[in-house]
């Protein structure tokens, strides 16, 4: 017996030691997992615990604006017609000094349907951002009640005991009321990163709106210039028809008098009919330009004789000089660049959303309620009941999938950053293309104007000689034909100067500031005093050399509170696009210059292996 008892005791001790070792091993494994995470072995996209602490208790990289390759100056910077004044021509169409164009611009900014549709997307993005902000609070809220009454059958096979058995009622009822909350605590920044992404998406829709507005104004002006150019070409063509009809009469009189043969008549008639054939083509161009303008104004195609009356000199006078600022100003001016930058910020925040799945989610569920069989007793303390359910959920066997999701989202971010950088290069090119066209078209106009004057004088002299019988009609025929062609080229060149100037301001991203003026854009009805003011125009940009080995990330604050609009608001109000644009401008992210300068000071960098150099470094 003693031996048996001793053996049992020893066996129990061995089992206890084995269980203790298992617990110790489990603790060691957990500690190793934490140490591996802290040491950075699981580091991907700012997902380590050290990054979580440094980034304001949020996993994932803090966003830094992508660097950009910016030219130091314009290619034609030394041209006397190019100015680099930092003051921006925000209402550039007024430089053409054309009241008809000003009116078209105003109407288009208020009535264009595409612009209104873009405004609705702002409302959509704002609502989605509101949903993302709501996820910071308890995600599940339930409040309900129930009244249940039951009549128990005594003849069914599994009937409950009744009065005949245990003195229980056959008919019973119950009153219930319950309130419950479920809250996944945002320990790792999942919902905060999601809010950052939604905020960036919302800001991107505002920039898209401004980009559509820039394109709209440029399209209206371009179609207007196209219409006026065709009208000018019509004036030249009709004047040449009149002159050539006179030449035909002279040739006919001389032929009937027997002074010349019929060849002069046929030459004059062929020249006249050739010029007349230009008129229907130009009239088609005028009508098509009117139709395009009508659609841009948000109205059915119709004649625009009242909005665009005929005049002796249709093409407006174009200023000889243009103010461009510097190439670095493009980042601040162009809404499409700002939209792409916001898209990159959204993609960066999404990395943190995915990276939060590497860690356990912590949630608290709880309910409290009242339950009683009689309404009179439902308010008694004994009727109170509830539960409290804290829990965690850790996807410990899905790291391969999660890491690949992080890698995929990081690739999306890299794409957005590269697209942003590429668009900056394209923007620089667009300005240079429009600028060289503007400058060279001015030179072409001067040459064609001198040529036109010479041809007109030559036609006059040749016609006088022909009437006097000093020369044949062939010389008159050639000169009149050439005059028709050169005047048509002159009108096209004059239109090209105006169109190129419009192209410059479109490439610079100017014009969206009209929504800040008294003329409220389409989809944005609001009082002028509720609109924000234009940002300062005197800014300078700096780009720094970014090393791919730099791994720290500084936080770029995302403002989450919208500024309340001025004035008294009704209790329930549907937000207008104008108010959203106002609020967005009031809480807009830092200006391009401020962020770039702060990036140089604080070391903000992309979470990527991208190496960007200044344009001045390329030659080195």
**Within-domain flag for 67:** no
Q: What is the mean pLDDT of residues 406-411?
A: 93
Mean pLDDT value of segment 231-248: 94
Q: Compute the average pLDDT of residues 446-456.
A: 95
| pLDDT per residue as tens digits for the range 270-287 | 999 999 999 999 999 999
* Shared-domain flag, residues 33 and 93: no
Question: Helical H runs in 392-472?
Answer: 399-467
Are 470 and 411 within one domain?
yes
Q: Is 25 within the bounds of a domain?
A: yes
Give the pair of three-digit tokens for residue 243. 């002159």
Mean pLDDT within 421-445: 96
My answer on whether 244 and 319 are in the same domain is: yes
Q: 62: which DSSP letter?
A: P
CATH for 524: 1.20.1600.10
End residue of a domain, out of 512, 530, 548? 530
Q: What are phi and psi of 386, to 5 degrees?
A: 175, -175
Q: Is the pLDDT of residue 46 over 90?
A: no
What is the percentage of the chain residues whose pLDDT exceeds 90? Answer: 50
**Region 405-423 average pLDDT:** 94
Q: How would residue 381 be classed by pLDDT, with cut points 50, 70 and 90?
A: confident
Q: Compute CA distances 273 → 266, 269, 281, 390, 466, whole Å.
A: 10, 6, 13, 92, 21
- Same domain as 12, residue 91: no
Pair (16, 117) in one structural domain: no
Pairing of β 322-323 and β 171-185:
unpaired
Q: For residue 520, is it within any domain? A: yes
Which of residues 234 and 600 earns the better pLDDT score? 234
Q: Answer whether 530's CB lies under 8 Å from 566's CB.
A: yes
How high is the pLDDT of residue 165? 54
Higher-pLDDT residue of 6, 489? 489
User: How far apart, in whole angstroms, are the C-alpha atoms of residue 599 and residue 542?
Assistant: 10
- The H or E element containing residue 208 is helix 190-256
Rg (CA), the chain: 39
Return the structure tokens found at 11.
């066996």
In contact, 451 and 275? CB cutoff 8 Å = no
Instruction: Give the integer Cα–Cα distance in Å for 589 and 605.
Output: 17
Tens digits of residue pLDDT in 505-562:
999 999 999 988 754 455 443 433 333 333 343 333 333 322 333 233 333 333 333 3
Q: What is the tens place of the pLDDT at every residue in 47-93?
A: 677 878 888 889 989 998 998 888 999 999 999 999 888 777 889 99
Question: Are residues 118 and 33 part of one domain?
Answer: no
- If residue 490 lies in a helix (H) or strand (E), which one and from where to where? helix 473-508
pLDDT of residue 49: 76
Tell me which residue of 507, 147, 74 sits closest to 327, measured CA to CA.
74
Bridge-based pairing state of the strands 171-185 and 140-151: antiparallel
Contact 133, 186 (CB under 8 A): no
Instruction: Tell me the per-residue pLDDT of 159-190, one tens digit each, with 9 for 90 and over.
Output: 555 555 555 667 778 888 899 989 888 999 99
pLDDT of 379 > 60? The answer is: yes
Output 565 or 40, whichever has higher pLDDT: 40
Confidence at residue 20, expressed as pLDDT on a 0 to 100 scale? 57
* Co-location of 33 and 96 in the same domain: no
Does residue 501 contact residue 217 with C-beta atoms inside 8 Å? no
Per-residue pLDDT of 126-140, as tens digits, reads 999 999 999 888 888
- pLDDT for 578 equals 60
pLDDT of residue 326 exceeding 50, the answer is yes
Domain of 481?
82-150+169-530
**What value does the mean pLDDT take over residues 148-164?**
65
pLDDT value of residue 546: 29
620 has pLDDT over 80: no
Query: Strand 82-83 to strand 322-323: parallel, antiparallel, or no bridges (unpaired)?
Result: parallel
Percent of the chain whose pLDDT exceeds 70: 73
Number of residues that this document lists for the chain: 620
Both tokens assigned to 548: 């791919």
pLDDT at position 281 is 95
The structure's pTM equals 0.75
How crowded is residue 586: how many other Cβ atoms within 10 Å of its Cβ?
14
Residue 296: inside a domain, yes or no?
Answer: yes
Q: Rounded to an integer, what distance in angstroms lies between the CA atom of residue 425 and that of residue 427?
A: 5
Whether 609 is covered by a domain: the verdict is no
User: 584 in a domain, yes or no?
Assistant: no
What's the rounded Cα separation, in Å, for the pair 203 and 195?
12
Q: What is the count of structural domains for the chain?
A: 2
> Mean pLDDT score of the chain, rounded to an integer?
79
| Exposure letters 457-487 (e unless 16+ CB within 10 A, then b) | ebbeebbeebeeeeebbebbbebbbebbebb
Last residue of a domain, one of 530, 545, 566: 530
Statement to judge: residues 375 and 434 lie in one domain? yes
Do 487 and 352 share a structural domain? Answer: yes
Same domain, 32 and 180: no
Region of 614 on the Ramachandran plot (φ > 0 left; ψ -120 to 50 alpha; else beta) = beta
Task: Tell whether 112 and 188 lie within a shared domain.
Answer: yes
Please, which residues bridge with residue 172 across strands?
150
Backbone angles phi, psi at 342, to 5 degrees: -70, -35
Q: Which of 501, 530, 559 corresponds to the end of one domain?
A: 530
Domain-embedded: residue 105: yes
- For residue 70, is it within any domain? no
Provide the 3-class DSSP secondary structure of residue 302. Answer: coil
**Mean pLDDT along residues 41-48:** 54
Q: Which residue has the higher pLDDT, 210 or 554?
A: 210
CB–CB of 511/218 below 8 Å? yes
- 240, 281 in Cβ contact below 8 A? no
Give dist(CA 212, CA 204) in Å, integer: 12
The band of 577, judged by pLDDT with boundaries at 50, 70 and 90, is: low
| Statement to judge: residues 251 and 354 lie in one domain | yes
């Amino acid at each position: 017996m003693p031996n048996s008892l001793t053996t049992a005791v020893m066996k129990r001790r061995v089992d206890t030691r084995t269980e203790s070792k298992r617990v110790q091993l489990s603790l060691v494994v957990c500690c190793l997992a934490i140490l591996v995470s802290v040491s950075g072995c699981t580091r991907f996209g700012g997902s380590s615990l050290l990054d979580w602490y440094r980034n304001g208790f949020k996993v994932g990289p803090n966003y830094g604006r992508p660097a950009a390759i910016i030219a130091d100056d314009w290619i034609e910077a030394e041209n006397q017609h190019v100015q680099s004044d930092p003051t921006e021509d925000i209402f550039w169409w007024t430089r053409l000094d054309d009241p008809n164009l000003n009116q078209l611009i105003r109407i288009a900014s208020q009535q264009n349907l595409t612009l209104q549709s873009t405004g609705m997307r702002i409302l959509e993005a704002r609502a989605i951002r509101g949903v993302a902000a709501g996820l910071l609070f308890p995600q599940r809220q339930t409040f309900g009640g129930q009244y249940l009454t039951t009549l128990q059958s005594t003849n069914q096979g599994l009937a409950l005991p009744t009065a005949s058995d245990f003195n229980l009622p056959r008919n019973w009822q119950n009153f219930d009321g319950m309130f419950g909350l479920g809250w996944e605590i945002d320990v790792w920044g999942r919902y905060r990163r999601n809010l950052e992404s939604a905020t960036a998406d919302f800001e991107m829709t505002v920039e898209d709106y401004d980009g559509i507005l820039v394109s709209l104004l440029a399209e209206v002006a371009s179609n207007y210039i196209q219409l006026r150019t065709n009208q000018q070409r019509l004036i030249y063509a009709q004047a040449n028809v009149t002159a050539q009809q006179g030449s035909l009469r002279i040739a006919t009189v001389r032929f009937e008098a027997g002074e010349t043969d019929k060849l002069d008549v046929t030459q004059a008639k062929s020249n006249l009919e050739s010029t007349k054939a230009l008129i229907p083509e130009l009239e088609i161009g005028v009508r098509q330009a009117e139709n395009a303008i009508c659609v841009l104004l948000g109205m059915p195609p119709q004649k625009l004789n009242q909005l665009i009356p005929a005049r002796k000199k249709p093409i407006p006078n174009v200023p000889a000089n243009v103010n461009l600022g510097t190439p670095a100003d493009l980042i601040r001016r162009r809404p499409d660049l700002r939209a792409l930058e916001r898209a990159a910020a959204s993609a960066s925040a999404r990395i943190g959303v995915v990276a939060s799945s590497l860690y356990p989610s912590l949630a608290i569920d709880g309910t409290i309620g009242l339950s009683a069989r009689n309404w009179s007793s439902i308010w008694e303390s004994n009727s109170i009941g509830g539960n409290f359910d804290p829990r965690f959920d850790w996807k410990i066997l899905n790291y391969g999938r999660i890491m690949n999701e992080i890698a995929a989202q990081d690739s999306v971010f890299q794409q957005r950053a590269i697209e942003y950088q590429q668009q900056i290069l394209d923007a620089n090119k667009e300005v240079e293309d429009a600028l060289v066209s503007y400058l060279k078209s001015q030179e072409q106009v001067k040459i064609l104007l001198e040529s036109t004057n010479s041809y007109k004088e030559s036609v006059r002299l040749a016609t006088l000689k022909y009437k006097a019988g000093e020369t044949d009609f062939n010389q008159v025929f050639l000169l009149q034909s050439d005059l028709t062609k050169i005047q048509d080229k002159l009108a096209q060149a004059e239109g090209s100067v105006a169109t190129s100037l419009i192209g410059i301001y479109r490439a610079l991203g100017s014009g969206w500031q009209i929504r800040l003026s008294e003329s409220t854009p389409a989809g944005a009805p609001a009082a002028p005093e509720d609109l924000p003011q234009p940002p300062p125009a005197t800014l300078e940009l700096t780009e720094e050399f970014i090393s791919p080995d730099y791994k720290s990330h500084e936080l770029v604050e995302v403002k989450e509170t919208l500024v309340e609009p001025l004035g008294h608001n009704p209790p329930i109000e549907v937000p207008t696009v104008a108010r959203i644009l106002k609020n967005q401008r009031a809480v807009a992210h830092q200006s391009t210059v401020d962020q770039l300068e702060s990036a140089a000071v604080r070391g903000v960098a992309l979470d990527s292996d991208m190496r960007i150099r200044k344009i001045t470094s390329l030659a080195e």
